[in-house]
Amino acid sequence: MTMTDAYLQTKPRELAVYDLGTTSYEEVHRLQQRLQSQRREGHGSDTLLLTEHRPVFTLGRSHPRPDLRVEETTVRQYGIDIVQTERGGDITYHGPGQLVAYGIVDLRGWNVGVLDYVRGLEDVVIGVLADWGIRGIRSEVGRGVWIEDRKIASLGLNVRRWVTMHGIALNIDPDMGHWELINACGMRDAEITSMANEAGKQVPYQEVLEAFVFHFGRVFEAEMRNVEVPGRGPSHG
Amino acid sequence: MAVPIAVPNLGEEMAGGLVAEWYHPDGAIVDAGEAVCRVESSFVAVDIEADETGLLRHRLPAGSIERPGAILGVILAPNESMPPEESFHQEPASMLAVAEPAESSTPSEGAKPEAAPESTPPTLALVDDDFVADVLEDAIASPPSEGLGPLPEFEEALIEAVVVPFPLKFSGTPGRSWDEVPGDSVEFDSGLFGDGIDESVAIPEPGGTIPGLPLWTPEEPTALRSEAAPQDDEAGQRFGRISREAHASAQVLTMTMTVNLKEAERMRSAFEREWHPGGPQPMLEDVIFRAIAWALEDTPFAGGIGAIIVATPDSDLAFALREPASRSFRDAVTARAAVGDEAFESASWLLVSLAALGVSSATPHLEPGRGMSFALGAEDEANRASLKMAYDSTRWSEGSAARLLKRVRDILDLPYAMLT
């Protein structure tokens, strides 16, 4: 998608990009809440958090009961947490081998509507996939990015005073067995796929992360400013 | 002057949103900047904040689906009364300007909170080709001139009877306080509800701004969280350890309720013919236990008085009702299902009421141990009996016993609220 005139503005967009490495969902969730709170008050800067989580199922606000294919105790036995969040959407999975991008963005400052932002996130992922020769598309089935009828990236947002949190998760090479435990996004028959599946080869996490940052800057016409986080960062060679 | 709370315009493709939840009851005092309600689509949840400090009045209930610009409620100044309903239907000038991002570039750094619009309360007419909106409009247009006063039963019920796409489920509008139910009392051990439950509470800022660090607190690894998925050869050991830990920390949530058996019997009779066609006819205990089990266990469905969910056989429509035992109400549902005269009878449905069963008190408490039980005590001269339920915490995930207790408290505090 090309950027429409609505995207254009005089003030350059700038994002602080944090590569957090491997994290637990809850610590990044707290961080997001804090950043969104600051941003709502007009402090801080627009931020992109990039991470891969330890295994966790997250629930959207309107679907507080996990849509599981197995008993909840079984999920726990896999060492997977179940966490309630304030984003829209249904249950989804995060885990190692999945790039999760959380944007804390003041949409008013960018002069961008919620749906423009959503489409932009999808375009970022479609751009990343293209770099690996994978053709990602949008689908009428639901938001996110798809490879034909297989879902490869899931999306969910919370917006408060025009500041976003949550974002998009791209499957690079996660443990696909974990997806089997849930009806992802509330869809009983949705097939989940990954870049490794589609490309038929190993896909390095860190290269995908760098491509994501590049395409994010390209799609949103934003300057991406990497911020080093002491003790955090790339966990993959 | 009354400051409207409107559905934001989220973008050209976003035809509307589900009014998912009012964070504050009708008549509450809210502060400027405080989130008052949440509007959702399938992938985005938007918190709408109060532009002014004042008295919050709901106009449209949670659970309804509204177009951008629809006025969900207003914030009133002291001594100000609810604007007449007609004022909500005037064609607005400024609503979209309020709801949309600013046309011009807005400085993002140090932006000051925006002043409330100076113009008259901006409004948009409800969607007149939308059946649900028509029903809501009719129901709302008919109350007495004092505003949101008591409505006749049927009209009041219609406000609750909102058709939504099934997966969106419901939440409701708190309409009455528990005190209005004569003779009822609710007791709780408030110490059980303290920690880490209310997600709406702002996260305290320990200091520093972006990119001021440290932003993280060191993660404390727990036994269940600190390891990746088990390897095959470790699975047995791991399972054993998890099992031992679960047993060591097990708690029993015991809930003692006072049930009005006469009311429960009335409900049983009312539902007898509509009980699931494939199943046995319900016994009194079936009704009680099923209702309470749903209310307690099934998180999305936790109903207030007379709340019931009816899902049509293909599960693409659902209704939230009040007073499901009412014949006229069932007739209305049948008519509205619009998929055949026998839609109601052929629907699968779930009863999620506590108070409709005559539950007049509920006292939950936690104690260490394991076990599950149900016990219905002897009936007293006032047709009341105690109902004791014990749930084993190992059936739930971490912390869910506390969340469950909070849900029970919420249900009983706001008996007309349907909480999602």
Q: Which residues of chain B have pLDDT under 70?
A: 10-16, 42, 63-64, 86, 88-261, 263-379, 385-420
Over the stretch B76-129, which tens digit does the pLDDT of each residue have?
887 787 777 767 664 333 322 223 333 333 333 333 333 333 333 322 222 223
Structure confidence at residue A207 (pLDDT): 93
Residues in chain B closer than 8 A to A76 (CB atoms)? 224, 242, 397
> Any idea which of A123-137, A179-193, B238-252 has the lowest mean pLDDT?
B238-252
CA angle B260, B261, B266 (to 5 degrees): 105
Measured CA to CA in angstroms, residue A140 lies from A144, A148, B17, B169 at distances of: 10, 11, 18, 21
- Averaged pLDDT, A26-30: 88
- Averaged pLDDT, A62-75: 70
Structure confidence at residue A141 (pLDDT): 78
- Averaged pLDDT, A192-217: 93
- Averaged pLDDT, A160-176: 90
Residues in chain B closer than 8 A to A78 (CB atoms)? 229-230
* Confidence band of A205 (pLDDT split at 50, 70, 90): very high
Structure confidence at residue B131 (pLDDT): 31
Q: Is A24 on the interface with B (CB under 8 A)?
A: yes
* Confidence band of A140 (pLDDT split at 50, 70, 90): confident
The answer to whether residue A112 scores a pLDDT higher than 50 is yes
Give the 3-state secondary structure of chain A: CCCCHHHCCCCCEEEEEEEEEEECHHHHHHHHHHHHHHHHCCCCCCEEEEEEECCEEEECCCCCCCCECCCHHHHHHCCCEEEECCCCCCCEEECCCEEEEEEECEHHHHCCCHHHHHHHHHHHHHHHHHHCCCCCECCCCCCCEEECCEEEEEEEEEEECCEEEEEEEEECCCCHHHHCCECHHHCCCCEECCHHHHHCCCCCHHHHHHHHHHHHHHHHCEEEEEECCCCCCCCCC
Closest CA to B345 of B353, B354, B335: B335
Q: Is A198 on the interface with B (CB under 8 A)?
A: no
Map tokens 């999975």 to a residue: A93
Structure confidence at residue B248 (pLDDT): 63
Structure confidence at residue A26 (pLDDT): 86
Over the stretch B264-280, which tens digit does the pLDDT of each residue have?
666 556 555 544 445 44
Structure confidence at residue B31 (pLDDT): 87
| Sequence-distant (≥ 6) Cβ neighbours of residue A165 within 8 angstroms | A32, A33, A35, A36, A86, A87, A102, A103, A104, A157, A158, A159
Identify which has the larger pLDDT, B92 or A133.
Answer: A133
> Would you state the torsion angle of the CA atoms of residues B226, B228, B232, B237, taken in this order, to the nearest 10 degrees?
0
Residues in chain A closer than 8 A to B300 (CB atoms)? 63-65
The answer to whether residue A175 scores a pLDDT higher than 50 is yes
Structure confidence at residue B24 (pLDDT): 85
Structure confidence at residue B293 (pLDDT): 45
Structure confidence at residue B254 (pLDDT): 61
* Partner residue opposite B210 with nearest CB, options A16, A64, A108: A16
Structure confidence at residue A79 (pLDDT): 77
Q: Which is catalytic among the residues A15, A147, A182, A185? A: A185
- Nearest Cα of chain A lies from the Cα of B187 at a distance, in angstroms, of 26
Identify which has the larger pLDDT, B330 or A52.
Answer: A52
Find residues 107-136 of chain A whose CB sits inside 8 Å of chain B. Answer: 107-116, 118
The answer to whether residue A102 scores a pLDDT higher than 50 is yes
> Any idea which of A13-17, A36-40, B110-114, B392-396 has the lowest mean pLDDT?
B110-114
- Averaged pLDDT, A147-163: 88
Structure confidence at residue B38 (pLDDT): 82
* Partner residue opposite B13 with nearest CB, options A108, A115, A227: A115
A185 is known as an active-site residue: yes
